Structure 1
């Protein structure tokens, strides 16, 4: 697309009409991929060109206004869309009053009325919606042009929905069936829109109590989605994948999970869920070429891709919003465009690598067989639960909810258990309250009972008795969380047999989704002979007053507070002790880096062939209200880089998380290792990454996808096991916990999951002996990785 735009910019002025037409075609391609933001920018450019060429009252301007309004409606920007559509309507109305329109111009009227009907529907103008859609369909039938079949199918689809919602079920069935036939004739069978049409027909059957028919249509729609999912996401950038997945979710996932609860067996439902959950990670991760890749061109493209991501990270911290001039903004835009171009290139070229791997699509049996026999997988999912209207014409409902699938590893011949947990609101509220209590519990401001009361309430909601029955006789608990549950350690919930914490009855680990268990098909490098790289106590540097003023706001995240990373001398002692423990076991001397040497460049240089990375420093996540200088000095604090609503999300969500390295206070561009930069590393030789810092397990929440943060980035880079934290962690207790963790990992040869559990139990017992379990001291750290 970039090449096409470059060619367009060089075209002479007299070819402006051609430029406008090409911009419209490119925007259509982007919309099909789910990238409505980029499409909208192109359509605004096209509108400006057409207005400059033809004035403000030409039908070509009306068509351009219509297309802008259409995309704004896709983004649910009703008021903005209305303004553009009303202007378009005025142009078409005046033209019809003055002369007889041609067939192509009439098709513009049909499209306008079809799209404007969505505005009327938002305003509950049922009569207006019907009149608009009937006129639109009459025009499409009269003109009967091959290239309008898709638009006609959409008009029939929306008319069928109107009839269903008003209780005219037989008429709705006729419209839906014709819509599907026309749509398949226009675009073929295996298309997102065909799947969406089938889901809509299933809603009609459900409204009439025909659950068998609804279930059959849902199965057919999910089969289509399964066939096209990989191809649909191939050739897209990461941002475009998330946009496409949002559209796919809107089209059918929420409804699929809703109707499946009453019409499908749990095994079929779980397979459909696995197709979608964490799909952006699974379709993106194979883009890194194999280590032994012989294609020098592919390797060169990947090196270029790494360089572009690092360049964007430096630009994000290079200047404030106030300092951004046109040249600065152009540099950021150019870096983003280059990253997306290279991502799409790698995504297309990686199809050969994916085929070479020949990894079968994951289903219930595949996941179950990847579990240990003494383990249970609990796969949670957030979704909007659909309920049909109680009576014809009444409102239907979509309620944010949670459901969970329980899969025991010792019986793969039976169906998984699905348990609906009800509305998400009370669960999410309790997670937030629990996290808030744990954070300020560090200062002794919250008595333990209030934290444990929240944990007990939460436990009754997310681990009801039906799930507890599945856990009996098991010792391993593998959690695949979703939504706000990804921000909570399940080890804090009440345990079985009168134990205070789940930690005391189960070994708990985490994965993004069940099919991630299948990704760990390579043998681990082994932890008994670790090759260790440990980084601690970086020299962040003093922050001069001029720098403090300059960093009051950031290019990526606007924040009216000073950013300051305080020294962490305890982490220097921590990594030195870990190094001594590894020295007697390693086949090569451990590498310990601290002080002024703990730079990004040194990390990049030393990381090759290491199997264990231990990074003890400040971390940041800019998706929650930040905490800055002035908080307790012995805490590895969230160092304050903004909120989720600021500009960094628009640039790249992986800029919202990172680690502070040497020089971070003097020059953040050189001293901050962003999650985006982490994705440029090749960590496929790394068995364990320990992020001994605060909030390293946090990230940007995207329902159904892994948190976009440090944990996601290290997993994307290839690390097998990750130890991360979910809140601020005190310096001294963390150093003690890490010492106990490595003792059990290397001296007792335990897995990382078992070693962390034993270390946390030791801290819990010590705290209890002192009269206070202090869960905030030990429960923040979690392990994600393979179950076996």
Structure 2
């Protein structure tokens, strides 16, 4: 709601007409209808006199009209008030400043942004003259003007205004804090998230000192920070921050409604639709009481409520609320306004979701006509209206009509936004699917290529500065589903277009683990160089990238992306030249299967395991419930494209076959089926082509099994003995293998952590909540805490201790010639691992955790939050139980949990080997194996050459003996892979069952 400023109280010596007294009386009693009707009479009085009394009358009627939603009339009255005060020479008065402020808000409300900005600058100059640049009044006007400039997309002007005025204030003063807070909000709004986070971190202690923890200013800072998290896609952090704000806010405070509204939208993004619907229902009741049921803001609340109900499948309720919204918007702006049209489009979406496509089409036809009339036939919004109409026609069985509309939409988007815009990819994706449906396979292949060129560009340009959550959302909701569709298309069309299999392989190796880029590790590498100018260059490059990422999601390219990209490229060349850390993370060469082939020797094969959900392109397209797997194989004999071996029983591989494998291992029973289920088809190919060594990159369920532990029922030999299987995170590693010049430090052995420490932690650190803690560090959110605690329960409602790891560490420590650093009990802590500096070997013996994957994205969940997959996997260390129970950090500021995200930022560039012992990854119901893969990949990105980790927990004796054998062989001169394979074969002589010797796998070399 617009906050209108009140006029001052004035004493009048002249006679006061009854008309004025009636206007004032109606205003004071909030009888706005009666007040508004006196407009004509006041105009007649104004012909007789020109004084402050008439000016005040115009103010009263203007305010009344504003409260009634008659914005145009309100503006007219305030303009008349302004003219009178100017004619009386009262530009220096407080009332003149107030009328300027009111006009700023009202012009902005009706969309007259230029007029709003013009009035804002007048107000700024007025207050500067009257009060001075350090006055509270002037600073407040600067803040308001910056808000207006931001809202009219004059971001650079707003930034300059704030930055210049911050310099005029005493550092750490109240006004300094307010301006800094506004600047942080502006940075966040502009997509400059790094600058925003830094600025907001600086402002909290100043606001706390100047205003206090319960002050409106502190609460504003919380709400702004929560909104910052929403923009970044950090919804769990946003939820905690809004919770903190709402605990302190009173319902009558203006910020309360804003925070409540944002909290509801956060719940929607988190998929907590019941909570979101409850909040919007409460807001609806409050709006009804304070604004009435015909006010435009009430309509916005109804529309938000309908969004939630649509997501929840409550289509009738959503329809009713949108029809009410349309009625209000019709009364306020007519049926041709863009606001009305956008609500129509939303109603059409409800009908489509409810399966009533025929009811949606007329609405979409009307919407596209209005967009075309209002905005022109080259506008992106018109293109998107055509896209929606085209999809509706396709779903209604009018595919030939729909495809024309989709192609027209794509042409407009190409001309107005360019082929690198997100909407171009979405539109082209649907065109490719329609071509596939029509068996126009070569055309579909080409159009799919356009989609993936767009995605590769977005990855290169935006991924370095997206948050982990944003990267995960883009990957799981956009890239992964698109490649699943393409894989399904490739399998169907491979006979007609064999080359499509080469594209599948290339896409796999170039996008696998693409979300695991670490900006923090680059920062650490640059910081260690002690070159301030290089760090400045990096931060400037980061800011430019953030601007580009923001622009790629907007409806137009009013700012030149090309020029920003050119500037970013200049920075990248310089940073690549000076920083190897930067080059290794951000300069990603594209590889093909041919590059992998060049690295192979005769009798060797590179195998990529592909997992995808089958897709049916009919009636607009939909995923089926069928999971499929495939081996894509490259050898030195491969001619034109990789060979494919299909496994069409993916659902069984991930359910009953997996359960049989696990139970056979656990209960040490004969397993005559797993070889046939998981390996036989590949083995037949390997035998036929005389392949002995296999470089295999796993995916899905293959991350949850140890192929070496499976026995060939025909030869009674284990795969361990029949093939030399090297597990890789990605077969592109064969092509990108560089000469190894590692010189690691003394080994670090860490285990037997004390999960429950006596000390509850530093009180000051422990009390840090929500906004401030989340800004300064990443970590485990409240929702993850609950899941982890349930996951890690031991026999006595705590995390089960691992006594065998103490003996394991002690026995291993004596094998090294150079004395290793040993950390156990309370020293087996998170900060200990984070402080390691390139040990030659890092051995960690503790619990691992691997939480469930999310359900695949659907049309209804496309906009929802995707939890950071790098938080779904990690290691449990000293003090973790204290944190999981209380949420408090310990004295070192740790939570006792090393996530995969934190692991990939470790300093392990000269580390040869990381061993993760006692991880029990088999406990997690990891549907696609992403959690296990994430932890492996994280340590590889941190720099280590190889990783050894356990897939299930075995008895202490077998683990200790395997480790001793492995280290003896390795320290005796064998390569790590050879040493590990020999150790397992030797242990197999003593312990016949794979339960004992097959629990561990090595990934990397």
SS class of match (2:729): coil
CA distance in 2, matches of 1:356, 1:129: 50
Aligned mates of 2:381, 2:440 — CA distance in 1: 29
1:650-661 matched pairs, under 5 angstroms: 654-661=870-877
Is 1:715 aligned to residue 943 of structure 2?
no
Aligned to 1:181: 411
Q: TM-score, normalised by structure 2?
A: 0.59
Q: Does 1:781 align with 2:1000?
A: yes
**Separation in 2 of the partners of 1:288 and 1:481?**
31
Q: Distance in 1 between matches of 2:687 and 2:851?
A: 38
1:675-732 Cα distance to aligned partner (Å, 9 max, x none)? 2543442111111001121325887959696646543432332222110111122211
**Structure 2, gaps ≥5 residues long:** 1-138, 154-184, 192-227, 243-257, 266-279, 540-567, 761-781, 854-864
1:674 to 895, 898, 908: 898
Secondary structure of the structure 1 residue equivalent to 2:786 = coil
Matched, 1:133 2:352: no
Greater relative contact order (CA < 8 Å, ≥ 6 in sequence): 1
CA change 1:251–1:17 in 2 (3 A) is: farther
Map 1:129-278 → 2, pairs under 5 A: 129-145=360-376, 149-249=379-479, 252-263=482-493, 264=497, 265=499, 266-278=501-513
Distance (whole Å) between structure 1 residues aligned to residue 150 and residue 454 of structure 2: 36
* Residues 322-721 of structure 1 aligned to structure 2 (within 5 Å): 352-353=575-576, 356=583, 358-371=587-600, 373-389=602-618, 398-411=624-637, 413-430=639-656, 432-434=658-660, 436-437=662-663, 441=666, 446=667, 448-449=669-670, 452-459=671-678, 463-464=680-681, 468-469=685-686, 472-495=689-712, 498-518=715-735, 520-521=737-738, 523=740, 525=742, 531-538=746-753, 556-557=785-786, 559=789, 562-566=796-800, 568-583=802-817, 588-595=818-825, 597-604=827-834, 607-623=836-852, 654-662=870-878, 669-670=889-890, 672-675=896-899, 676-695=901-920, 707=932, 710-721=935-946
1:416, distance to aligned residue in structure 2 (A): 0.8
Structure 1 residue aligned with 2:334, among 101, 118, 131? Answer: 101
CA distance change for structure 1 residues 396 and 144 in 2, over 3 Å: closer, same or farther?
A: same
Does residue 750 (structure 1) correspond to residue 974 (structure 2)? The answer is yes
Q: Distance in 1 between matches of 2:798 and 2:601?
A: 45
Secondary structure at 1:130 match in 2: helix
Aligned residue for 1:62? Answer: 299
Question: How many residues are treated as equivalent by the alignment?
Answer: 675
Write out per-residue CA displacement over residues 93-115 of structure 1, whole angstroms, 9 at most, x where no aligned residue: 2442x466275x2x222222223
SS class of match (1:280) = coil
Query: Does the 8 A contact of 1:697 with 1:710 survive in 2?
Result: no
- Residues 25/234 of structure 1: CA separation in 2 closer, same or farther (3 Å cut): same
- Decide which moves more: 653-662 or 348-357: 348-357
Q: Tell me, yes or no, if the aligned pair for 1:697 and 1:711 is still in contact at 8 Å.
A: no
SS in 1 for 2:388: helix
Structure having the higher Rg:
2
- The Cα offsets for residues 723-772 of structure 1, whole Å up to 9 and x where unpaired, read as 0111122211110111111122121x2222222222112222223xxxxx
Unpaired stretches in structure 1, ≥5 consecutive residues: 1-7, 304-345, 546-552, 625-648, 768-772
Corresponding residue for 1:764? 988
Alignment partner of 1:122 is 2:353: yes
Displacement of 1:375 in angstroms is 3.0
Cα distance in 1 for partners of 2:188, 2:299 equals: 19
Structure 1 pair 222/286, CA: closer, same or farther in 2 (3 Å)?
Answer: farther
State the distance in 2 between where 1:498 and 1:556 align: 48
**Contact residue 235 and residue 348 of structure 1 kept, 8 A:** no
- In 1, Cα distance between equivalents of 2:827 and 2:433: 62
C-alpha contact 2:852 2:927 (8 A) present in aligned 1: no
Q: Distance in 2 between matches of 1:63 and 1:250?
A: 34
Residue 571 of structure 1: how far off its partner (Å): 2.9
Residue 308 (structure 1) aligns with: none
- Call closer, same or farther: CA 1:758–1:259 in 2, change over 3 Å: same
Normalising by structure 1, what TM-score? 0.73
Shift of 1:215: 1.9
Aligned-partner SS, 2:908? coil
Query: Would you say the 8 A contact 2:626–2:650 is kept in 1?
Result: yes
Instruction: Work out the CA distance in 2 between the residues paired with 1:408 and 1:496.
Output: 27
CA shift for structure 1 position 618: 3.7
Q: 1:598 to 1:175 in 2, by over 3 A?
A: closer
- Are residues 90 and 718 of structure 1, via their aligned partners in 2, closer, same or farther at CA, if it must alter by over 3 Å? same
CA distance in 1: counterparts of 2:633 and 2:352, whole angstroms: 43
Give per-residue Cα distances to partners, 1:38-63, cap 9 Å, x unaligned: 99998933997995996553335535
2: CA distance, partners of 1:541 / 1:169:
63
1:396 and 1:662 map into 2 onto residues whose CA distance is 47
2:508 pairs with 1:295: no
- The alignment status of 1:90 with 2:346, answered yes or no, reads no
Q: CA RMSD in A?
A: 4.6
**How big is each residue's C-alpha offset from its partner over 1:574-593, in whole Å with a ceiling of 9 and x where there is no partner?**
3333222221xxxx433334
Matched with 1:327 is: none
